[in-house]
Amino acid sequence: MATDVHRPVNPQATEASGAEEPRLTQAVRVQGLTRSFDGRAVIDDLQLDVRPGEFVALLGRSGCGKSTLLRILAGLDRDIEGTVLVPRRKAVAFQAPRLMPWKKVWRNVLLGLPGKPDRAIADRALEEVGLSHRTDAWPKTLSGGEAQRASLARALVREPDLLLLDEPFGALDALTRIKAQHLVGELWQRRGCAVLLVTHDVEEAVLLADRVLVMDEGVIAHEQEIDLARPRDITDPRFAEIRGQLLERLGVDTAAEAA
Amino acid sequence: MSISHAPPGSPAPDIPETSPQGAVEPTSPAPAPDLEPIVPTSSRRTRVPRWLRRTTGPVLLLALWQLLSGTGVLTADVLASPGRIAQVAGDLVADGSLTSAMTTSLQRVAGGLLLGTLIGTGLALVSGLFRVGEDVVDAPVQMLRTVPFVGLIPLFIIWFGIGEAPKIAIITLGVTFPLYLNVYAGIRGVDAQLIEAGESLGLSRWGLVRHVILPGALPGALTGLRYSLGIAWLALVFAEQVNADSGIGFLMVQARDFLRTDVIVVCLIVYAFLGLLADFVVRSLERLLLQWRPTFTGR
């Protein structure tokens, strides 16, 4: 389904000549982005384009700048050089759910929406993530998975054109993580928004993304389209092959496993 | 190698003994460990209701006091007996002097508390929320904070005369600083991650203050309020014992002149009860405003 929606745009071609027609065809456009901390460039002249509705996963070793890139796209880090174009409507789900502990779950979901939004909006969003029974709970009484789903509902209620996920499953236990991954896949297919998922879990990236980017030394060092049919099967030998290739890119030797 | 490390008393012959009959080993079950029951809390807890348990301490203290007075160990000019004190308290209430003194004192505390809360919280908001405010406000407040406010009483009398103003001013001064410090610390202690999350949700600056920073500073603010209340009573005692012609402190000064330890104790008890009442008010506020916070309630 995903490949039907997205017209095959050749990213290499647009990168060279796409400067004339930027915003229309892209959900994200980053050109020549540099971000330095104390003179050390964490992101160094980075280029990135994300098509509308595309699911992009960003892999990389810890400290490679992938979270910094996400924070820049979210508008939380503006100490930058270069061009960054993002949709006005964007939402972030962080690794920690970051719910305001003094607001009940449904109020957290509505937080920051313009005007006086109706509670029904929050209830609908919470139902979408399967949390309708916890709308009236205090965030500190939620389990890790529930809190993460509430955080996801809070992001989705903004109807974003770009959803930024910063290792949203990192703190979940293995079983909850599988469920949450499926949920994100479903929500993305239903909403059709562009997603940038920052993760260090290669399997998760291959399972969900249309395109996997590997970040290293402050740039996108490797890029791989995942053309496996959805829903994807982890036991598929091609899945394992792609996973092995990506792991190798990340410097993990899986020769024995991939063979 | 492991044998060389084995304690001398260890049964060394075990190894040669068990190795030939290794097949038999699994069939002989390991010795069962001693089991002990995990007692459920409900059965471990005593059946005495909470309020009764909480009152036993004071009641025991009272009984001891009465015993000492009754046996003559504690003479009346040192400390009157609880019975005598109850009687005096009854008399003071009956002739209206205690109630009128209490009303005056309460008014002073309320006035000072209100002013101090406004000033302390206001200053803390200015220096907590704005960096400019911090630069301008924080240093002078930190300097003034170290001046013992009781020492300012003579100055206040010169400035404000001997009416209500210096008394309320002293209480205000005492209340302002703990509140300032705690609200300021509360604001600065708000989790930066939550502020960032608020920003990512598109909250305006005022929205951040209202939805993230102020609620986050509330636990600190309530701690400050509790300190402030304690200090308010303390300041009241000081203020009323200098140049007062009404209030509980005045009653005490008067009683001192007539060596009436019973009246002094009655006044002290009134102070104590007012303090307890204030604490109860803050506790209730905390329960109401901080219900989102799961806390350890003791065992």
Domain ranges of chain A: 52-75+160-258
> Number of helices and strands (H, E) in chain A?
11, 9
pLDDT at site A1: 35
Tell me the two tokens of residue A59.
């892999």
- Interchain CB distance below 8 Å, A158 and B201: yes
Residue B15 belongs to a domain:
no
Residue B261 belongs to a domain:
yes
- Interchain CB distance below 8 Å, A101 and B202: no
pLDDT at site A109: 96
- Interchain CB distance below 8 Å, B196 and A98: yes
pLDDT tens-digit series, residues B195-213: 999 999 999 999 999 999 9
Domain range holding B285? 76-289
Q: Identify which of A74, A100, A101 has the shortest CB distance to residue B293.
A: A101
Instruction: Per-residue pLDDT tens, chain B, 299 aa: give them.
Output: 444 454 445 444 444 444 444 445 556 678 888 888 888 776 666 678 888 888 898 899 989 999 998 898 888 888 888 888 899 999 999 999 899 999 999 999 999 999 999 999 999 999 999 999 999 999 999 999 888 888 888 888 899 888 889 999 999 999 999 999 999 999 999 999 999 999 999 999 999 999 999 999 999 999 999 999 989 988 988 888 877 788 888 898 889 888 888 899 999 888 888 888 888 888 899 888 998 887 665 55
Q: From the CB of residue A247, how many other CB atoms can be counted at a distance below 10 Å?
A: 18
How much is the pTM?
A: 0.76
Query: Domains in chain B: how many in total?
Result: 1
For A163, which residue in chain B has the nearest alpha carbon?
A: B200
CATH architecture of A52-75+160-258: 3-Layer(aba) Sandwich (3.40)
B197 vs A contacts (CB less than 8 Å):
92, 94, 98, 100
**What are the strands, taking DSSP E only, across chain A?**
28-37, 40-50, 55-60, 81-85, 90-93, 162-166, 194-198, 211-216, 219-225
B198 vs A contacts (CB less than 8 Å):
100, 111-112
pLDDT tens-digit series, residues A189-240: 999 999 999 998 999 999 999 999 999 888 999 999 999 988 888 889 999 9
- Given a cut of 80, is residue A54 above it in pLDDT? yes
Interface probe with B: pick from A71, A92, A100, most Cβ of B within 10 Å: A100
pLDDT at site B110: 93
* CA gap B166, A125 in Å, rounded: 58
Q: Identify which of B196, B201, B294 has the shortest CB distance to residue A111.
A: B201
Residue B177 belongs to a domain:
yes
B212's CB contacts (< 8 A; 6+ apart) are A100, B190, B194, B195, B198, B203
- Interchain CB distance below 8 Å, B292 and A140: yes
For B215, which residue in chain A has the nearest alpha carbon?
A: A102
Interface probe with B: pick from A86, A106, A111, most Cβ of B within 10 Å: A111
Beta strands A55-60 and A211-216 are parallel
- What's B215's domain CATH number? 1.10.3720.10
Average pLDDT, chain A: 86
- Interchain CB distance below 8 Å, A76 and B196: yes
Q: What b-and-e string marks burial along A83-110, b requiring 16 or more CB atoms within 10 Å of the CB?
A: ebebbeebbbbbbbbbbbbbbbbbbbbb
Q: Identify which of A98, A114, A141 has the shortest CB distance to residue B197.
A: A98
- Interchain CB distance below 8 Å, A102 and B216: yes
Q: Identify which of A100, A140, A154 has the shortest CB distance to residue B212.
A: A100
Q: Identify which of B202, B207, B292 has the shortest CB distance to residue A101.
A: B292
* CA gap B77, B73 in Å, rounded: 12
